[in-house]
A and B are shown apart, each in its own frame.
Chain A
Amino acid sequence: EAGVTQFPSHSVIEKGQTVTLRCDPISGHDNLYWYRRVMGKEIKFLLHFVKESKQDESGMPNNRFLAERTGGTYSTLKVQPAELEDSGVYFCASSGQGNTIYFGEGSWLTVV
């Protein structure tokens, strides 16, 4: 069974540009999460989808971040326009009926 997959694995963009990160959760998982780890700090929650609905988006930093999960399958996280402080690792995770949350490899974003 495939795990959580994320694309791209690494991205370097200039300040002011747009980046879109994609996440494919484990098949059948209704819950999809986005987390971010900035500059070696803790892993911070961004938002939680249940199927296609946003259950909790309290961790989204500001309106430059837009997450979608069309059809309740894969999700995208768009940063527009990107700022220097957006650099970090963006993790997607998914879970099924239980609590266990499985993480993807992360998308490493560098804004220069």
Chain B
Amino acid sequence: GENVEQHPSTLSVQEGDSAVIKCTYSDSASNYFPWYKQELGKRPQLIIDIRSNVGEKKDQRIAVTLNKTAKHFSLHITETQPEDSAVYFCAASEGNQGGKLIFGQGTELSVKP
């Protein structure tokens, strides 16, 4: 089955700097890769996703890149703000039939003012 590895586990940046979180996956059939942001005590919120037919997707300060050959994908946050502080999870679909997601271990991002 699918296995997703996420790094780093913790990341601390100064406000205004960029943050990058990386994930690798094992199942070459995976075709959907969402990123979730979870603030303390809140639900995981989808912030951006990418499908396997696209190499990069951007939404304002957030971008995701996907390298299918290497089986890794990354989240890039530019001009970080204190409200970006949260735990970020990457995920990959198991296979290409949609449905079940396999999550990475999470990255705790801290943005210092």
The total of Cβ contacts below 8 Å across the A-B interface reads 56
* A56 vs B97: C-alpha distance when bound (angstroms): 13
Chain A residues with a Cβ closer than 8 Å to the other chain, count: 24
- Contact across chains for A101 and B101 when beta carbons are under 8 A apart: yes
Residues of chain A with a CB closer than 8 A to B43's CB: 4, 91, 103-106
Contact residues on B (Cβ < 8 Å of other chain), bracket: 20 to 34
A87 lies within 8 A of chain B by Cβ: no
Binary CB contact string for chain B from 5 to 38 against chain A (1 if under 8 A, 0 otherwise):
0100000000000000000000000001010100
Q: Is A44 an interface residue (CB 8 A)?
A: yes
In the assembled complex, A62 has its CB within 8 A of some CB on chain B: no
At the interface, yes or no: A75 with Cβ under 8 Å from chain B?
Answer: no
B44 CB within 8 Å of chain A: yes
Residue numbers in B under 8 Å from A40 (CB-CB): 106
Contact with B along A98-112 (1 / 0, CB 8 A): 111111111000000
8 Å CB contact of B104 from A42, A99, A100, A106: A42
A43 touching B103 in the complex, CB below 8 Å, given contacts A99-B32, A99-B98, A101-B34: yes
State the CA gap A58–B104 with chains docked (Å). Answer: 18
Q: Which residues of A contact B74 (CB under 8 A)?
A: none
Q: Which residue of B lies closest to A43 (CB)?
A: B103
Does residue B113 face the partner (Cβ distance < 8 Å to A)?
no
Q: Tell me whether A100 and B49 are in contact (CB under 8 A).
A: yes
Interface on A for B, CB 8 Å cutoff?
4, 31, 33, 35, 40-45, 48, 55-56, 91, 95, 98-106
B contacts, CB < 8 Å to A? 6, 32, 34, 36, 42-46, 49, 51, 89, 91, 93, 98-106
Q: Which 9 A-B pairs have CB atoms at the shortest separation, nearest pair first?
A: A43-B103, A99-B32, A42-B105, A103-B43, A105-B43, A103-B44, A42-B103, A99-B98, A48-B100
